[in-house]
Every structure is written in structure tokens, then in C-alpha cells.
Chain A
Amino acid sequence: MTVLRYIVEPGFFGSGPVHVALAVGTVIAVTSAVVGVFTVTRGQSFAGHSLSDIATTGGSGAFLIGVNQFWGYLAFGAGAAAFMEMIGIQRRRGRDVATGVVLGAALGLAALFLYLGTEYSTTTGASFTILFGSMFVITSSTVPALIVSALLALGTVAALARVLLLSSLSPDIAAARGVPVRAVGAAFLMALAVSVALSAVIIGAVLSTALLIGPAATALRVAKGPVRAAAVAAGIGVAAIWLGILLAYDSYYWPPAGRGWPVSFFVVTLITCGYLISYLRRSGRRDVARENQDMEHACSVA
């Protein structure tokens, strides 16, 4: 217990906002991680990033008109997902136009909304909350909506898991076996939009892809099968969220004293560290594997 006293600052387990943050954070981290594994497998990290940029606009717009940001993230994310599906974001030309024009315009609008919103209200922290999130100020009335949305996204991806994997392996084989490849892709993009909106609530619209892609990319480096990759990604996501919350809570007592550091900073930093560790481990192991192969080859030649 004494050791724990040094790690956990007083009041951590008794704090209401901490309870909400831990519960919601866990559900969202698991959803993001599992959706993320499929996002990376399908090569749609770019789509995820675009959705998070557009969600920023939605969140700031919602703030301006006095609606909870989550609904803004969700509405704009889902709308953008439908639009991307229509214009075919997967094409390289489409990506260039999207990056240069559409996403720029979206963030420009977000800047306007935030400017107007903070001019007319006294909530100065709003811009920061929308862009970088804040787990300790989740409105308790949105908690059921957050959890239901997370379960819907998770359920969709679980139900589509096999067809998504077959389509990633070869869209031609999937189509030849009667999989409605396009409809499945559209359904997945919607689940992705929901997942981006959720992680925008806890770590901010700008950073939401970090929670989506980071744990998944790390898991894909270390775990082989799809089920294991999803489990490892979920574990990494949850660990980053819990540790992030703990460190952010503790940081209130760090210099400059009396001001907690943002949770998003800790979460994103932890995720990045996890990826770096997996990167170093894996490339080390690959060298060993290659040496072994060379040895085998040399032996068989001899």
C-alpha cells in the first residue's frame, strides 16, 4: 500500500470524474483498437485521419450551437464517410484532392467555429477540449450514448470480421464468392466514423487517430493471427488510457504545481512508446531470422 501511495496520488480512486473516465475510456479504447486493426489491415489509415479532421469541424460546430460535441463529431464523421464512399477515397487522385482541398476547408471551418464559439461564450477551454479532448469533463448524460455507439461499432466489425479479412486478402476472391464487397466496405467505413467520433471525445478530434491506429499498428507487428492482433491492440489501448489517466491525475502535483497535464499527451506518448518498442524488438528479431535462414541455406548447400 505504501508503494501504491507514491504511484497513485491521494483521491484517485475516490474521484467521480476518474471513475467515468476509466469506464468510458476502457470501452472506447477497446472499440478503437479492434476497429483500428481492420483499418490498418485494409490500408485505410488515411480515411481514418480524414474522418478525424472533418469530425473536428463537426465538434466545433456543435459547440457553437450549444450541442454536445459528440453529436457533432458523429454527424460530420458519418456524413464524411458516406461522401468518401461515394467519391471513392481509395483512389490516389481522390486522396490528393481530399488532402489539399476538402480537409483544408474542413479545418478552416473548424477554426471559424471555434473563434466564434469562444468569442460569444466564456468557456475558454472549449477549443482545447475539442481539439485535444478531456476525459475528466465527459458529461455524464452522454455516457450511455457513448457506450451504445461503441458497442454498435464493435458489433458491426465483429459481424463483418471474416468478410473484411477475405476482402483484404483479395477483393476479387471475395467478390467471386458472392461477398457484397462495396456494401461491406461502406458498413466498415461507418463503424470507422463512429469509432473516430468516440475517440475524439476522450483524446480530442485532432488526436483521435492515434488511439485508432497506434495500438493496432503495434499489435500487428507483434501478433500473428487476426484474433490475437485484436486482443493485443485492445490491451495496449486500455493500458495507455489507464496509465494516461493515472499520470494526468498525478501530474496535478507536478510542476507547475496546481495544473494537471493533459490526459491526451500521456495517452498518445504511451502509445508512441509502445510502437517504438515493438519496432525495435521486431526488426532485431527479423535480423536473427534472416541469419538463421542464411545458415540453413549454407548447410543445405554444403
Chain B
Amino acid sequence: MSGELLRLDGVGVRLGGREILRDVSLSIQPGEFTGLIGPNGAGKTTLLLIILGLQPVTRGSVLIDGAPRAPRDASIGYVPQKLGIEPDIPLRVRDVVSLGLDGHKFGIRLPSRARRERVDDMLTAVGARRYADARVGELSGGEQQRVMIAHALIGRPRLLLLDEPLANLDISSEQGIVSVLARLARAEGIAVLLSAHDMNPLMPVMDRIVYVAAGRVAVGRADEVVRPEVLSRLYGQHVDVIRVHGRVLVVAAPEGAGEAFRDEAAAEDASVAG
């Protein structure tokens, strides 16, 4: 075997008669940083739920280390999209990270020094040590993301799935999260699959991109995938890829807008001619 961590082959999902994903094939190598990019509603979350085994597939196969995912498999860490943590939930940051080790286990656990140190180390690694004793519900969105990343990483997964961790964050928290993730993933050899509707913050760290649109995916390096002809085929309509100030924008002309654009261009030509 090629040492692939994750492989999806011809995966299709149909929900209530609607085709959410079709013919999705992709693979992830150990230690690879992959961006799962696409507009809202494209099927990014569904794809992550499939990998977690929470969304059954209509066709195709999902293999982890060459085998179907076993329940209670600790090799995948997960940070869901809407955290929605209640402010009054009686969990301190350190409790949340500790639940990352054994929150799925039954029975009573006695406190131990080794566990406490491990939690502290993890919090230091994600830069959340400062608020270790604060209630998790009282933190800002960016701080909560760091805590949830620590929660997901402390069980030493080989693959970390993050669903829109950068949504609703200010630019500095966004950069902070991305750099923490890239650093830890590289140091520990953890593969990361991170979904986002904006690929720009991920450009410096992404090894590969999985672009989802209209239920299909295009997979490859960013410069192979983020091209007008590839994305137009994916969207099933013409899209432009615009690069400004080192940022990439994918712009689809809305229906009918093409004509207005042509008229405007014609008017401009006329004025130049005049």
C-alpha cells in the first residue's frame, strides 16, 4: 500500500432525493495539510461527516488506513462548525481539553498529576494556557477555537478535521489559528483537513486543495485547481479567478449579469472612442 491515511472512492450522497455529493474521490497522505474549499452549501460539512462515519454514503467507499472506520476510532480528531457553547456550561478550558482524552469513556476518573501536566502542555502548545481556568463559554470565538483544537489534538489523532474554524474570526485570530495548526501538524506529523469558504488565509500552509462546488470536487495543488477552466467545469458555469494584492478571488457572473457587463464594456469602448 502507498501509506495513504484516508481514501474516498467514488463517494456519492443523496439526501431526500437531492444529490449532495457525487463521485467524490480523494486521498490524504500522513502529515498533509489539505484545504477543503468551496462556497456555503457546497457539501463541505457533509464530506467531513462522511469521513467521521456520521453520514452514511449512498455509493462509493471510505477507507482509513485501508480499512473502513471503526467506531470509537481515536485516529481522527474533529472540531465541528457551530460550537454554540453555552456561557453557563460548568467546564473550564482545562476540563474541555481533558475531555479530549477520555470524554467518551464511562465511569469515574480520579484526578492525576500526569494528566494535568499533559493538559497544560497541550494548552501551551495552542497558546491557550493563559485562560486555562476560565470558563470555556465566556471566551471569544478565536479563543474557543484554540481550546477545541487542543481538545481534538490531545488524543494524538493522525488526522484532524476542522469545519470552518476561521468563520466569524477577526484577521489576527484567523492568522493565529492557521499558524498554530500548521506548526503542530508539521511537528507531530498530523494530517489536517480544514474546511473554509475563503482559501486566502490558508494559501501559505496548504499542501493541497479539495475544491467543492455543486456536489463535485477538484483535487490537487492550489495552482492546479484554482484556475478558471477547472473551476468553471466544477461549477458548471463560467467563473473567473482574479488575483489582487496576493489574494485570490473566485467570481461567478450571476445569470444575466454577463449582458450588463458587455453593455458596460461597450459603453466604455464608445466613450474611449469618442
Contacts and interface: CB of A to CB of B under 8 A. Distances in A.
Interface string B114-141: 0000000000000000000101100000
Contact of A158 (B53, B88, B89, B108): B108
Contacts of A82: none
Given A163-B105, A165-B103, A225 B88 contact: no
A276 interface: no
Contact of A37 (B90, B92, B106, B151): B90
Contacts of A161: 108
Contacts of A40: 88
B78 A224 contact: no
Interface of A: 37, 40-41, 43, 158-163, 165-166, 168-170, 172-179, 219-221, 223-226, 228-229
A170 B80 contact: yes
Q: Contact size class for B?
A: 20 to 34
B72 A178 contact: yes
Interface of B: 52-54, 71-74, 76, 78-80, 83, 85-86, 88-92, 95-96, 99, 102-109, 133, 135-136, 151
A224 B90 contact: yes
The secondary structure that dominates the B interface is loop
A174 B78 contact: no
A224 B104 contact: no
Contact of A226 (B95, B104, B133, B151): B95
A166 to B, nearest CB: 3
A225 B91 contact: yes
Given A158-B108, A176-B76, A224-B133, A166 B89 contact: no
Contacts of B73: 178
B103 A166 contact: yes
Given A159-B107, A172-B54, A178-B104, A165 B91 contact: yes
Given A37-B90, A226-B95, A176 B78 contact: yes
18 contacts: A41-B88, A43-B86, A161-B108, A162-B102, A162-B103, A165-B91, A165-B95, A169-B85, A169-B136, A172-B78, A175-B54, A177-B74, A177-B103, A178-B73, A179-B104, A224-B90, A226-B91, A228-B90
